[in-house]
Chain A
Amino acid sequence: MNQIDVRSEIIAQFNQVAREQDKRLTPLTDQLELLDSGLDSVCFAIVVSRLEEAIGVDPFAASEDAVIPVTFGELVSFYENAAK
């Protein structure tokens, strides 16, 4: 999966999970802090779980010292690097 696909897959999952969990999603910019995105931690967990199926990687599980992303941009590059 190339980098554009990774980003659009992540955006698609954010929208999908927000819809399912009845959350209002803030427009996704790279600077947006994840905790301000409108999703709660269960939503994030579902997103991570679905991205693992869609992209084939769980970058969080890859290392005990993997960084914890704070902004949406960090989350995207976290997945992009893992998918390389």
Chain B
Amino acid sequence: MKMLQSNPTSLWSVLKESDNLSGRFLLDADSRVAMSDLVEGSVLYGRGKELQGRSVLLTTNDQFTTASALIELDGVARRIVLCPPDFPLEHFPYVIDTAEVDAIVSNHAAMRLGKPRPMYFSPVSRTIVAGDTDRSTHHATEWVLLTSGTTGLPKLVVHTLESLTGAIQAGKTPAENIVWSTFYDIRRYGGLQIFLRAILTGTSLVLTSAHESTANFLARAAAHRITHISGTPSHWRRALMSPSARRISPEYVRLSGEIADQSILNHLRAMYPQARIAHAFASTEAGVAFEVNDAIAGFEAKALECTPGVEMKVEDRTLRIRSTRTASCYLGENAPILKGDDGFVDTGDIVELREGRYCFAGRRDGVINIGGLKVYPEEIEAVINRHPQVQMSLVRTKKNPITGALVIADVVRKAGPNDGRDLSASAIQDDILLLCREALSPHKVPAAINFVPELVVGESGKVMRRSA
């Protein structure tokens, strides 16, 4: 078994030094490229040199080009800001200012931002051209990931290649027999972990494509004989609704990003009896903390003390994590504190000890998790409260077997004379939903608007949240 480099200098250098590069592939529904070609050529039209030492915003409309560009840019750029899919255009100026972006690498033309900042624009392509990027000056590239924030503005989370790859170890199976795949998008932390895992451990990687059905993806994954595959419990619930789920026979099934309940673990055990099924606890800020391998929901209390390389404690009911895998800080003026003085990251996840096992019992900040994506109720409430007929609102989650959770809004209508229009309840519901669809990412739009006579307001003057 080959050991991993303990401290990888760059993705490119890791690949350059590994064996059998021509036999390893990166592929999605439209393209397939050998890792050897990615190392020797350029997806930036041979102009990677221009990006030396820059703060680069990487925004593409598919994972494949992001993956290719990351290999080329890591170690060359001073900073890479990784833009997630469906990122609202209105937040680009904030991200560009906060991360002092001076170059944009993109394959779409949405970048007419009218910003005065001098900006280098580099197109990125699926086609590899000859041309080596000058790597004579090495930059320890800072990786910036974007996550949701309370106000709707994204938070910019700072990592290094070392912190992102701290949990990755070579497994027992020889790398040449492993093909990784993930339902996750590699432009977010959970998917990025799998991309980095494939690069560092010497395997191929099968990516999803945006307009591909679950059945077609599973068929393609089966055709490429994937052996290791990850996703959120919601991804897996959806996959198991497809008859094509039977076409893959993975050795290793990984869940992360949401709480894995016993039901989804049992379903996966029944569908893939040969597979090792693991659920992992990780977040963009806290990094990968631990993996649970007994296919039981929650985690053993002794995991707090017995996880190599990660220190954990429960304080004030929430799980706190300290390790070399955590992010270092948030970027920006007035950015919130990411780590306490003791170096621990408060995950905000409330855990309860029951018979020697910790179970997750919601979030202290009321954040809800929809299919692995963070949703701040306050952001949605602010949009709903803009409606002239709305007095106040409370956004909460409802457990659901298919998506894991649904966004539900309880709304108190204004009493007394309205603005002259006598709208029916359903017309107002439609109106509110329209407002939400215009202002919010699709996963944040409530599945239902309920009119309620009142909401409980606490001493702070804020609407009381159940988990608060």
Binding site for B on A (CB under 8 A): 33-36, 41-42, 44-46, 48-49, 58, 60-61, 64-66, 68-70
Contacts and interface: CB of A to CB of B under 8 A. Distances in A.
B213 A60 contact: no
A34 to B, nearest CB: 6
Contact of B406 (A45, A58, A61, A66): A45
Nearest to A64: B263
Given A34-B241, A35-B241, A42-B447, A48 B262 contact: no
Given A35-B238, A49-B448, A66-B401, 7 more contacts: A34-B241, A35-B242, A41-B237, A42-B406, A42-B443, A44-B241, A65-B263
Given A46-B447, A49-B447, A70-B241, A35 B214 contact: yes
B266 interface: yes
A45 B371 CA distance: 12
Contacts of A44: 241, 402-403
B222 interface: no
Most buried by A among B213, B403, B442, B443: B403
Nearest to B240: A68
Nearest to A34: B241
Contacts, number: 65
A41 B262 contact: no
Given A35-B213, A35-B214, A65-B266, A45 B241 contact: no
Contacts of A45: 400, 402-403, 406, 447
B249 interface: no
B321 to A, nearest CB: 29
Tell me what chain A mostly uses at the interface: helix, strand, loop, or mixed.
helix
B241 A69 contact: yes
B402 A41 contact: yes
Given A35-B215, A65-B266, A60 B402 contact: yes
Contact of B267 (A42, A58, A68): A68
Contact of B234 (A34, A35, A41, A64): A41
Interface string B385-409: 0000000000000111111001000
Contacts of B371: 41
Contacts of A41: 234, 237-238, 371, 402-403
Contacts of B234: 41
A69 B215 CA distance: 15
B336 interface: no
A70 B243 contact: yes
Contacts of B237: 41, 68
Interface in B199-235: 213-215, 234
Contacts of B261: 64
Given A35-B214, A41-B403, A66 B242 contact: no
Interface string B247-286: 0000000000000011100110010000000000000000
Nearest to A47: B402
Nearest to A17: B447
A41 B214 CA distance: 11
B406 A46 contact: yes
Interface string B360-376: 00000000000100000
A48 B400 contact: yes
